[in-house]
Amino acid sequence: MVPSVVNIGCGAGFSGDRVDAAIPVVETLAKREGPKYLIFETLAERTLALAQKHRRKDPTHGYSPFLEDYIRPILKKCYETDIKIVSNFGAANPKGAAMKISEIADQIGCENIKIAIVEGDDLLQVMSSHDIQNHPTIEGLGIDDNEVVAANVYLGARPIAEALSRGADVVVVGRCTDPALVLGPLVKEFGWGEDDWINLATGTMAGHLLECGGQVTGAYFADPGYKDVPDLANVGFPIAEVGNDGSLIITKADNTGGLVSAQTVKEQLLYEIHDPENYFTADVILDISKVRVVEVGPDRVKVSGAHGKQRPDTLKATVSIDGGWMGEAEMSYAGPNALKRAQLAIDVLKSRCRDIKTNNPIRFDIVGTMSVHSGDNEDTTHTHKYPDDGDYRIRIATCGHDKEIVERVNQEMLSLYCSGPAAGGGFRQHLTDQVQTASILVDRNKIVPKVHFLTDYA
């Protein structure tokens, strides 16, 4: 029987999100009638490349490093109250993630839990590095001859729906579109067809609103005096109520902070959207240009008017290539005449960096004047509108494939301790292994997602 409403909550909106946010969502869902789902979105573009590197070092790793922190507090309650879990925390190793969940399930007395794995997103399994390198890129840099660290296709909702139809309690995906985590359960419950564009669009919009967790419920929103948010420290994560008539309500976990208002929903609706008429996903092209957002109760917002167009013949894939090294170093100057000392320190750094004779880009900032809003090559001496006395922090940043050169630039900042202007303090530095990403389009017919159950491997 087709349910009238499906409830879907979100427990994480990125790989470093709060590990306890899902608990009130589960408490709330457990009290609801009808089918109930909990999603975790933990896989940003480059997170997967980092996971791939981890897997190369240790074949049992390569899934979300916070998997256990997310799953352990809620798994038993979800199992007991029939809340199905869908997540992309499989990253570069969905099977490894599934095995970890199974291990946790055994420890907490959920031995019979059914864990499904969606595979088929790893492009390197069906295409050579050479073929991938020869694809034109639609976003990001050219791939050229750089070593391909990872290449993953954004799968759609269908394999998730299949896994759920075959009885999965937990579905572990590697790379899929973020909205597919929500659309998959809706396709399973409502039986929406592959060309049911309007409903697929509504489900995709629901997924888009949920995929960043608290960003639709008052997190990443507060601007004191302008947009105030109650109890931001305990912001409640979102729940979508999707009706079989294509209706959509966004609300949040009970007894939590935050808020769901027309404003919070509008900000998230347009988040990372370019042309509102053409948001491409694996399942449908979503058109939100005519969408209306109406508050229908406390922390309840109705979202309507999504349109859908036929899905594209291609699937997007993210290709990650080695990106060399990034170096960053910082030092503080404070008190009388601090800005002038900070500027002198930067003059010294510039002179020293000229002697290194590198073509690597180098950026200088004085944090406390204009920094994040200024361009790479803006002159840091244009600081006349800032007071000389104050608390300023200088920063140098560079990148390149030659690790020694990058380290040497950082070293120049360190040497200011003894050889720079008076009273520089609080030196910190980072050296980061970089990954570059590019997006390509792949013929849909080349990609065949597969659903396995962990028991298949036993």
Partner 1 sequence: MTQEHMKKVRLHDIAHARAGDKGNRSNISLIPYSAATYEILLEQVTEKRVLELFSNKGASKVVRYELPNLPALNFVIDDVLEGGVNSALNLDQHGKTLSFLLLTLSVEVPVTMTIKNTV
Taking Cα atoms as reference points, which of 333, 332, 389, 327 lies closest to residue 362?
Answer: 327
Q: Does 399 bind partner 1 (CB under 8 A)?
A: yes
Helices marked H in 32-90: 47-57, 67-71, 75-80
Q: Does 433 bind partner 1 (CB under 8 A)?
A: no
Query: What's the rounded Cα separation, in Å, for the pair 321 and 372?
Result: 26
Confirm if 361 and 395 have CB atoms less than 8 A apart: no
Return the number of the residue (38 or 440) whose C-beta is nearest partner 1: 440
Taking Cα atoms as reference points, which of 160, 56, 178 lies closest to residue 117?
Answer: 160
Q: How many residues bind partner 1 (CB under 8 A)?
A: 53
Q: Does 436 bind partner 1 (CB under 8 A)?
A: yes
Task: Please report, as residue ranges, which positions from 367 to 396 form the binding site for partner 1 (by CB under 8 A).
Answer: 367, 371-376, 378, 395
* Minimum CB–partner distance for residue 305 and partner 1 (Å): 7
DSSP, res 317: E
Q: Counting beta carbons within 10 angstroms of the beta carbon of residue 225, is it exposed (0 to 12), middle (13 to 18) or buried (19 or more)? A: exposed
Q: Does 434 bind partner 1 (CB under 8 A)?
A: yes
Confirm if 128 and 429 have CB atoms less than 8 A apart: no
Task: Please report, as residue ranges, which positions from 308 to 327 form the binding site for partner 1 (by CB under 8 A).
Answer: 323, 326
User: Which residue of 1, 33, 225, 296 would you call a contact of partner 1, by CB under 8 A?
Assistant: 225
User: Which residue of 27, 45, 194, 388 would you call a contact of partner 1, by CB under 8 A?
Assistant: 45
Q: Does 72 bind partner 1 (CB under 8 A)?
A: no
* Minimum CB–partner distance for residue 163 and partner 1 (Å): 28
Confirm if 435 and 146 have CB atoms less than 8 A apart: no
**Inter-axis angle of helices 403-414 and 338-356, nearest 10:** 150
Query: What's the rounded Cα separation, in Å, for the pair 113 and 106?
Result: 9
Q: Does 269 bind partner 1 (CB under 8 A)?
A: yes
What are the beta bridge partners of residue 301? Answer: 250, 295
Q: Does 246 bind partner 1 (CB under 8 A)?
A: no
Return the number of the residue (190 or 221) whose C-beta is nearest partner 1: 221
Q: Does 217 bind partner 1 (CB under 8 A)?
A: no
User: Which residue of 80, 82, 275, 443 would you call a contact of partner 1, by CB under 8 A?
Assistant: 275
Task: Please report, as residue ranges, which positions from 122 to 141 form the binding site for partner 1 (by CB under 8 A).
Answer: 139-141
Task: Please report, as residue ranges, which positions from 163 to 192 form the binding site for partner 1 (by CB under 8 A).
Answer: none
User: Which residue of 56, 292, 401, 446 would you call a contact of partner 1, by CB under 8 A?
Assistant: 292
Residue 275 CB partners (closer than 8 Å, separation 6+): none
Per the document, the length of the chain is 458
Interface residues with partner 1 (CB under 8 A)?
A: 45-46, 139-141, 220-221, 223, 225-227, 263, 266-276, 288-293, 305, 323, 326, 361-363, 365, 367, 371-376, 378, 395, 397-399, 434-437, 439
